[in-house]
Structure formats: structure tokens, C-alpha cells
């Protein structure tokens, strides 16, 4: 991973001068951006006040911290650099980043195409709240995303892809999607949380907007809820305007956790990827395991597409066992001292969570599925613990 860089956020205007003037001379001697605890900045006079009020995109720190602070700026610079975008924005959660981007683009009567195995809260938001606004959605499989001419209608204005998707890791051929969408003037948005910017940069394949739940690998320590949006020159200012208007800004502490997390992202991911390889090999050979679900494995239906885009995987995968009795399942989970029973993922501690397979998943009858997020614990220990606990399910 590249070192934390010193890029300049586009559109930062006079805000940059301010930071340069004030604490920056000092900051040269410190490795991190400061967390300034403030709401309103203080103007030196009415001229400055007037200048600041003129353009919402150019008046930052002196006005109100919702518009940005040194640490949110630093995080946004990093994401722009890592995702090879024009500019980035931070939001108070990954979900807030997603709903904000959707609301900023969609109008009543619009239709969106979206990954069928999308992160469940996003599906719920689209079906419950966007539908109320007269916005409809069609949920597509990864294969259907390669046949877009069959699904795009006159009012289709937006394509939202999560890939590899939640729990079952459907991988979408994003280059095909982006090329098609460009010809039709359809905006393309990708939830890139699974990949982190180190494994895939969707903007390079023509996507317009990339979102991360930075609560996962990017901050990496299960201690912050924060989201990021990275985009092109065309969409940066409109999105920034929308985020300012909706007040979805990230907090300083969370931004700092993210900033710090980014420094070890490559190290963590490399370790997690290696341990995951060991664990999936063990599970594939384990007599209690019926299926291991990971796009890294040749058995996955989207493995070929995965190989087109990825050199390696991350630390998350699923597996299935023959449906156990509840009591048996509970004993199994209790034996896993180092795999915490928890929803979150991408942290330093390994986690496991049961999930219900979607109806369309083939040959899933009579199986129970679990998703694992591998932490940075010692590989041999995790392997022994999991393989021993699985004997409870035989
Ligand atoms: C967790 C998650 C989100 C939501 O992010 P929060 O920061 O928890 O709001 C969105 N997309 C994916 C793929 C996720 O795993």
C-alpha cells in the first residue's frame, strides 16, 4: 500500500490556505492530522464571513465543522489517492454514504438496477423508502448484469452494484456494466467494501462512484462507523453539495480511526488473506463441511469473472454444513473461543455469523450457512479450533 500521501483535495478552495497558515507549520513535525474539536469556526471579520458565505463548496473550516475538518480532509485525500478518483467524501456510516448517493441521483419515476444479493439494509432501504418516492428497483444476478439490454428500460437512470456481494459473493463483470451504462447515460455506483481499494479500483473500469463501508477493512479495528464516497470530476461537486445539504458528515474520532487504519490496511489484508487460504483449504477437506463459498475458489459460479479482476482474495468467506439441531449448532459456536459471534467484519478479530441462504441459491436445501471474517490471530490456532469445533456437527 502506498504511503499516506499529501494530495490536495479538489474544490477545497480557501480552506486549504487556512490550514496551511494555521497549524500546518507545526503539523510538519507530526505524523498525523489533528482532531479539532469544534462546531463553528471563528471568523476574523465580516469580510471573511461574507466571503465564506458565497460558495458552499469553498467555505469550510471557519464556518462549521460539518463542512470538513483537517482529519476528514486527510481521510478523503487518502481515499482519492487509493481509489484513483478525482475527489472523495466521508459520511457518518457506509449506509449513509450509500443512501446519500442514491438520493442525490434518483428522482420520482426513476428505475434502478441493483445486485440481488446486495447488503440487506440497502435492499430494505430501496424497497421500503425509495419505493415510497416512486423509485423502482430491479434486482439482478451477476449473470443478468451482462445482459443489461434485457433489463434496461427508458426510465432506468442508475445501476448499483455490490461485488463481490454480501454472504454469497456474486461477482459482477463491472467493465461490461460500465461500458453499457456509458452509452445510455446511466450512472454507475459500486459498493467496493469487500475489495478495499487495494484489490480493485472500479473507477478505472469506468464506474462513476465508489462507496466503502470504512467500518470494515479500511478502519479495520471494529471501532468506528464511517463511510466514504470516491468519484470523478463530473460528480464530485454535486455529491459534495448533496452531502453538505443532508448533513451526513463523518465525525473526527471516526475519521481518525479510519486514517490510522489505512496505515496498516495492506499488512492486515495480506495476513488475513493468507490465513483465509489455510482455513478454506482445511474446510474444503473437512468431513462436516458440505460447501465452502468464496469467489477465490474454482467451484464458485463467478470464479472466472473474479479472476478477470482480482489477483487475490480477502479474509471473508462462507461455508455450509448439513442443517444441525439448534443445540448442536450452539455447542459448535461455543467451542469457537476466537471466532466471535458477531455481524461485523474486516476487523482484527475473527468473527462468525449464521445466515439464511437466498432462495435462488442452488442446492442449498437442508444446509446451514455461516460467514466467517478472518482476523489477524495465529493461523494454526484458528484452524485447529475451527476444525475441532466442526466435529460437533458430524
Ligand atoms: C457493513 C456494510 C455496509 C454498511 O456500512 P456501515 O458503515 O455499517 O453503515 C455497506 N455495504 C457493505 C457491503 C457492508 O458490508
Q: How far apart are CA 103 and CA 101, in angstroms?
A: 6
Nearest atom in ligand 1 to 216's CA: 1
What spacing in Å lies between the alpha carbon of 50 and ligand 1's midpoint?
A: 39
Q: How far does residue 43's CA lie from ligand 1's centre (Å)?
A: 37
Pocket mutation for ligand 1, best pick of 216, 221, 257 (most atoms within 8 Å of C-beta): 216
367, 290 Cβ separation under 8 angstroms: yes
Q: Choose among 225, 260, 209, 259: nearest CA to 104.
A: 209
Strands 111-115 and 136-140: parallel
Which residue in this structure is represented by grid cell 507530526?
30
Give the Cα separation of 279 and 316 in Å (integer).
11
DSSP 189-249: EEE-TTTHHHH--GGGGT-SEEEEETTTTTT-SS----EEEEE-HHHHHHHHHHHHHHT-P
Spell out the domains of the chain, with CATH numbers in brackets: 15-262 (3.40.640.10), 264-393 (3.90.1150.10)
The whole-angstrom separation of Cα 333 and Cα 327 is 10
Pocket of ligand 1 (CB under 6 A): 93-95, 119, 162, 166, 191, 193, 213, 215-216, 225, 227
**Atom 2 of ligand 1: nearest residue by CA position:** 213
For position 85, what pLDDT does the model report?
98
Q: Grid coordinates in use for 121? A: 439494509
Mutate which of 200, 212, 213 for ligand 1? The one with the most ligand atoms within 8 Å of its CB, which is 213
Q: Has this prediction a pTM greater than 0.95?
A: no
Q: How far is CA 321 from the centre of its chain?
A: 28
Q: In the structure grid, which three cell numbers stand for residue 377, read together?
A: 490471530
Q: Looking at residue 339, what is its pLDDT?
A: 98
pLDDT score recorded for residue 379:
98
Ligand 1: which atom is nearest the Cα of residue 214? 7
Crossing angle of helices 379-390/252-285, nearest 10°? 60
Task: Give CA–CA dist 315/193, Å, rounded.
Answer: 12
How close is the Cα of 307 to the center of ligand 1, in Å?
A: 24
Residue 157, SS3 per DSSP: strand
**Do residues 230 and 203 lie in contact, with contact meaning Cβ atoms separated by under 8 Å?**
yes
Q: How far apart are CA 16 and CA 19, in angstroms?
A: 5
pLDDT at 60: 56
pLDDT value at residue 300: 97
Q: Which ligand 1 atom minimizes the distance to the CA of 118?
A: 13
Ligand 1 pocket mutation pick from 75, 95, 373 by most atoms within 8 angstroms of CB: 95
CA of 364 to the centre of ligand 1 (A): 25
Which residue, judged by its Cα, is nearest atom 8 of ligand 1? Answer: 94
Please give the C-alpha separations between residue 256 and each of 22, 225, 302, in angstroms, as whole numbers. 20, 11, 36
**Mean pLDDT, consecutive 10-residue segments, the chain of 394 residues?**
40 35 48 89 85 69 83 95 97 98 98 98 98 98 98 98 98 98 98 98 98 98 98 97 94 96 96 98 98 98 98 97 97 97 96 96 95 98 98 95
CB 351 within 8 A of CB 282: no
The pLDDT assigned to 29 comes to: 67
Amino acid at each position: 500500500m502506498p504511503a499516506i500521501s499529501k494530495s490536495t483535495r479538489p474544490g477545497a478552495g480557501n480552506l486549504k490556505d487556512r490550514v496551511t497558515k494555521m497549524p500546518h507549520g507545526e503539523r510538519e513535525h507530526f505524523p498525523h492530522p489533528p482532531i479539532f474539536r469544534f462546531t463553528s469556526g471563528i471568523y476574523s471579520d465580516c469580510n471573511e464571513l461574507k466571503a465564506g458565505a458565497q460558495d458552499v463548496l469553498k467555505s469550510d473550516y471557519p464556518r462549521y465543522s460539518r463542512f470538513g475538518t483537517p482529519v476528514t480532509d486527510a481521510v478523503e485525500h487518502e481515499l482519492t489517492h487509493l481509489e484513483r478518483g478525482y475527489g472523495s467524501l466521508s459520511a457518518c456510516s457506509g449506509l449513509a454514504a450509500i443512501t446519500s448517493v442514491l438520493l442525490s441521483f434518483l428522482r420520482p419515476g426513476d428505475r434502478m438496477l441493483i445486485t440481488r444479493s446486495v447488503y440487506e439494509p440497502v435492499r430494505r432501504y430501496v424497497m421500503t423508502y425509495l419505493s415510497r418516492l416512486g423509485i423502482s428497483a430491479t434486482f439482478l444476478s451477476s449473470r443478468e448484469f451482462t445482459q443489461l439490454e434485457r433489463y434496461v428500460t427508458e426510465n432506468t437512470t442508475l445501476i448499483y452494484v455490490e461485488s463481490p456481494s454480501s454472504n454469497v459473493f456474486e461477482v459482477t463483470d463491472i467493465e461490461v456494466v460500465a461500458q453499457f451504462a456509458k452509452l445510455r447515460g446511466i450512472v454507475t455506483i459500486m459498493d467496493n467494501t469487500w475489495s478495499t481499494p487495494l484489490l480493485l479500483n472500479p473507477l478505472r473500469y469506468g464506474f462513476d462512484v465508489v462507496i466503502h463501508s470504512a467500518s470494515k477493512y479500511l478502519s479495520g479495528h471494529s471501532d468506528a462507523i464511517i463511510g466514504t464516497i470516491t468519484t470523478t470530476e463530473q460528480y464530485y461537486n454535486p455529491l459534495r453539495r448533496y452531502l453538505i445539504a443532508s448533513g451526513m458528515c463523518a465525525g473526527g474520532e471516526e475519521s481518525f480511526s479510519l486514517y490510522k487504519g489505512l496505515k496498516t490496511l495492506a499488512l492486515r489484508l495480506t495476513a488475513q488473506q493468507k490465513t483465509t487460504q489455510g482455513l478454506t483449504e482445511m474446510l474444503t477437506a473437512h468431513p462436516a463441511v458440505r460447501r465452502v463459498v468464496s469467489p477465490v475458489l474454482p467451484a464458485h459460479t463467478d470464479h472466472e469473472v473474479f479472476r478477470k479482476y482480482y489477483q487475490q482474495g480477502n479474509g471473508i468467506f462462507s461455508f455450509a454444513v448439513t442443517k444441525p439441531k439448534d443445540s448442536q449448532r450452539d455447542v459448535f459456536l461455543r467451542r469457537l473461543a476466537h471466532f466471535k459471534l458477531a455481524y461485523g467484519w474486516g476487523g482484527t478479530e475473527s468473527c462468525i455469523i449464521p445466515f439464511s441462504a437466498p432462495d435462488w441459491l442452488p442446492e442449498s436445501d437442508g444446509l446451514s450457512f455461516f460467514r466467517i471474517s478472518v482476523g489477524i490471530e495465529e493461523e494454526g490456532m484458528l484452524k485447529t479450533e475451527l476444525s475441532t469445533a466442526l466435529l460437533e456437527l458430524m
